[in-house]
Structure 1
Amino acid sequence: MSQAPEVTAFFDEASNTFSYVVKDPESAACAVIDSVLDLDYAAGRIAFDGADEIIAHIRDKGLELQWLIETHVHADHLSAAPYIQDALGGQVMTSEKIIEVQETFGKVFNEGTEFQRDGSQFDRLLKDGDEYSIGQLRAFALLTPGHTPACMTHVIGNSAFVGDTLFMPDGGSARADFPGGDAGVLYDSIMRVLSLEDETRLFMCHDYGPGGREVQYQTTVREERENNIHVGQGVSREAFVKMREDRDKTLSMPKLIIPSLQVNMRAGDVPRDKDGNMVLKVPVNKL
């Protein structure tokens, strides 16, 4: 808690996603968390405006990129990690549980044997509790599944980047109905996050501006524990599971789930056909 990373947020309005540049205050070292690639799905076109903004920030500040962190396999946007890595270096890392996600969705998308289901597309796979550093900043990874099997919360100094495990207090929690998701496991993971010190800063991956308010991305463990509409004030596991399962039945699939899963389980690389052209599959009645 004595170390306070310098955090710069970048917002992708199309997917309501926050990406972060997390800097060591004692050096030029930094990490990028949950970057976004621009996709016009209807036109089949990708662009790099959001990623270029992050790259420009890192270059303008004279920073050294060490890590590109994926908190989980996102279902609502494509990762820009390979694009940023090509420009600035660094290593891409995620949970070792990516292997479970690759196995599940390798079947959904009818991927052949050329698609490796061993996490080898990533530079580093993290186990629960694994430690790493960003310059002098100490960090460790907490396995927080439930939304997906591979979700991780990254605790960096006095801050935690929770991915889709939690939303702002008035936003509640993430859905748990994707393949490999589990509402009870999600509750356990949220309790694990909320066992961190009260003043730990929590940074969200998404915010949808409930009630029409402006989007927000930062809160604290104390604020979530006291005011989160899904888990605050000691909501029981049983009550949460019922609420979450009932609510999830009413939700439609994310608009970009089909391209996002194909790309993100490959660490952000877009699949290609035998001629090297970027292609995406549309599985029918599989999700």
Structure 2
Amino acid sequence: MTQRPEVTGFFDPRTWSIQYVVADPATGKCAIIDPVLDYDEKSAATATAHADTILNFIADKGYTVEWILDTHPHADHFSAAAYLKDKTGAPTAIGEKVTEVQTLWKDYYNWPHFPADGSQWDKLFADGETFRIGNIDARVMFSPGHTLASITYVIGDAAFVHDTLFMPDSGTARADFPGGNAGQLWNSIQAILALPDDTRVFTGHDYQPGGREPRWESSVAEQKAKNIHMSVYKTEAEFVAAREARDRTLAMPKLILHALQINTNAGRLPEPEDNGRRYLKIPMNLLEGAAWDD
């Protein structure tokens, strides 16, 4: 019998992100996936409203947090992993290829002494590695393409794919960030679509096409039949051509240079300087050639 975790999504309209609490109802054990630390780029202020909402939900349910999981270092929001680890004591985890992202970005930020070894997390998952949430079996699938480090968590009958597949009416994720690759993205999506048809698919963003209400759950069968990219582009070459053409028209996420210095450090904010303030570091003219917003 397929194990079916209880999945609760929390939508952040500022970044169109979905955060998840994934629980084994039988044991009350749970994991938090891709939590958001609130950040206002205009004032550079941070807050913990979304993370605290998750903590309150977990407290109300009487759950115990076993894992704080990120699918990759996000380019459009700050991870709340460090904050939630401080509050719950639960270990943080991400895929082991995060070291490749760290190596790339430590050069961009001119951080010669930054440890690009993944030691900022408690656990680095290998491809195919298994773990448990309560009594529910979980495993890790590497899903590169959107980033070098992207992974999918398959927890019981649920797959958390984040920036790989979106809802069927929104298609697939971009592959033009540093380290991204549309061909790798195609292969990663094929592996996800090879899961059983009734596998529940939970995406990490929803951009509400046509102004509809936010949605984040579909199935492998729905994705194969209705995804506006995967139901149309039947070969890798067709997909790559279409994905790359689309990506050339997209502006960079407004927080990419803010977020990667936080998220390659497991959600830790920069250390305060001698005046007690924290400072972000923004490399200028790094992402040349990207489209500009009007």
> What TM-score, normalized by structure 2, do the two folds share?
0.95
Matched-pair contact (CA < 8 Å) for 1:166–1:190: yes
Deviation at 1:233, TM superposition (A): 5.2
- What SS does structure 2 have at the residue aligned with 1:37? strand
Matched-pair contact (CA < 8 Å) for 1:99–1:117: yes
Q: What code does the residue aligned with 1:237 have?
A: E
Deviation at 1:214, TM superposition (A): 1.3
Deviation at 1:277, TM superposition (A): 3.3
Task: Work out the CA distance in 1 between the residues paired with 2:47 and 2:112.
Answer: 28
Task: Work out the CA distance in 1 between the residues paired with 2:18 and 2:226.
Answer: 22
Structure-2 residue corresponding to 1:177 = 176
Structure-2 residue corresponding to 1:32 = 32
Deviation at 1:2, TM superposition (A): 1.2
Unaligned runs of 5+ in 2: 288-294
Task: Work out the CA distance in 2 between the residues paired with 1:235 and 1:78.
Answer: 35
- What percent of counterpart residues are identical? 49
Structure-1 residue corresponding to 2:192 = 193
Unaligned runs of 5+ in 1: none
Structure-1 residue corresponding to 2:13 = 13
Structure-2 residue corresponding to 1:131 = 130
Which has the higher mean CA deviation after the structures are superposed, 158-167 or 208-217? 208-217
Task: Work out the CA distance in 1 between the residues paired with 2:263 and 2:182.
Answer: 23
Deviations 1:111-152 (A, max 9, x none): 131x11000000000110000000101000000000001000
Task: Work out the CA distance in 2 between the residues paired with 1:282 and 1:272.
Answer: 16
Q: RMSD across aligned C-alpha pairs, in angstroms?
A: 1.1
- What SS does structure 1 have at the residue aligned with 2:36? coil
Q: What code does the residue aligned with 1:136 have?
A: N
Structure-1 residue corresponding to 2:63 = 63
Structure-1 residue corresponding to 2:241 = 242
Matched-pair contact (CA < 8 Å) for 1:169–1:228: yes
Task: Work out the CA distance in 1 between the residues paired with 2:43 and 2:78.
Answer: 15
Deviation at 1:234, TM superposition (A): 5.9
Task: Work out the CA distance in 2 between the residues paired with 1:7 and 1:272.
Answer: 35
Which has the higher mean CA deviation after the structures are superposed, 207-216 or 231-240? 231-240
- How many equivalent residue pairs? 286
Task: Work out the CA distance in 1 between the residues paired with 2:121 and 2:214.
Answer: 31
> What TM-score, normalized by structure 1, do the two folds share?
0.97
- What SS does structure 1 have at the residue aligned with 2:39? strand
Task: Work out the CA distance in 2 between the residues paired with 1:277 and 1:147.
Answer: 33
